Amino acid sequence: MTTELISDTAGFANSVDLSLPAQVVCGEALDVMRRLPPAAFDAIVTDPPYCSGGTFTTDRTSRSAAEKYVSSDSVQGHMMPDFGGDQRDQRSFTLWCSFWLSEALRVVRPGGTALVFTDWRQLPAVSDALQTAGWRWRGIVVWAKTNARPQPGFCNQSEYVLWASHGQLDRDHKPPYLPGVFTIGSPKGRARKHITAKPLTLMQQLVRSTTERGLILDPFAGSGTTGAAAIMEGRRFFGIEASSTYARLASDVVGKAFAE
């Protein structure tokens, strides 16, 4: 089974079929989400651009994603396609997050859930935007990377996942008891297909918190790791990716997950 890739968003309304096991749409996240029907999804699981990296505002707004997130000695990292949307300053980032999280609330049914990645710099901004959009914030999951680069003082080895719900959680939804901290290394070598890739094993664990056989939305699909995890855990997937290069890659990655 393969994943359907929709690249013509002009005809999106007539081509989307949310009954399919997996789809990837090449388009801008907010634009595509506004065309989706309300309460169509069971969860949103996503890793948006952090607009982070660097101590000062100029570091975060003037450099490309590769310049911010790839070490200077990583030849493979600098060969990966760059991605846009990562140069917003703090105020515009918070406002932007509130826009797409509001649309996410509209398209995720009441009782559904949200899992949104961020780092320590943007944790306050994302938590503000999440609650401004109307989500009920329920907690933070920590991803502790085992292969983080050392630095003076405390090693910056953790990223975070904000967990929220659209109102009350489903009374009949019984997710497994999952840990609040996952200690897993970042993807390396051929396993890393995106500048800010998350490990497949981590995404599989996170996806298990969602409704079984439910439909997961990822507005920032990247290389398709969340989609692959969703399929491998028995969920359905709808991904949106602005980069045509990564949209094709995500479609391939998710399609291959059906064979595993």
Residues 166-189: tens digit of each pLDDT? 999 988 888 889 999 999 998 776
- For the chain, the average pLDDT equals 86
pLDDT for the residue 254: 93
d(CA 254, CA 98): 28
Q: Are 231 and 257 in contact, with CB atoms under 8 Å apart? A: yes
Determine the average pLDDT of the residues in 195-211. Answer: 92
Examine the pLDDT at 128 and tell me if it is beyond 60. yes
d(CA 200, CA 106): 28
Determine the average pLDDT of the residues in 81-98. Answer: 81
Examine the pLDDT at 75 and tell me if it is beyond 50. no
Determine the average pLDDT of the residues in 193-221. Answer: 92
Q: Are 146 and 183 in contact, with CB atoms under 8 Å apart? A: yes
Q: Percent of the chain scored above 70 by pLDDT? A: 81
Determine the average pLDDT of the residues in 48-76. Answer: 59
Nearest CA to 178 among 115, 126, 221, 235? 115
Helix (H, G, I), strand (E, B) or coil at 37: coil
pLDDT category at 258 given cuts 50, 70, 90 is confident
Q: Which of 134-138, 156-160, 253-257 has the highest mean pLDDT?
A: 134-138
Residues 13-58: tens digit of each pLDDT? 666 789 899 999 999 999 999 999 999 999 999 999 998 755 555 6
pLDDT for the residue 122: 94
Q: Percent of the chain scored above 90 by pLDDT? A: 65
Stretch among 82-86, 89-93, 195-199, 229-233 having the lowest mean pLDDT: 82-86
pLDDT category at 67 given cuts 50, 70, 90 is low
Examine the pLDDT at 164 and tell me if it is beyond 90. yes
pLDDT for the residue 73: 44
d(CA 140, CA 56): 25
Domains of the chain: 8-257 (3.40.50.150)
Determine the average pLDDT of the residues in 183-204. Answer: 82
Determine the average pLDDT of the residues in 1-22. Answer: 73
> Which long-range contacts (C-beta less than 8 Å, at least 24 apart) are formed by 81-86?
81/243, 81/245, 81/246, 82/195, 83/49, 83/194, 83/195, 83/222, 83/242, 83/243, 83/246, 84/242, 84/243, 85/49, 85/51, 85/242, 86/49, 86/50, 86/51
Examine the pLDDT at 191 and tell me if it is beyond 80. no
d(CA 19, CA 238): 10
d(CA 167, CA 146): 35
HSE value, Cβ hemisphere, 13 Å, CA-based, for 35: 18
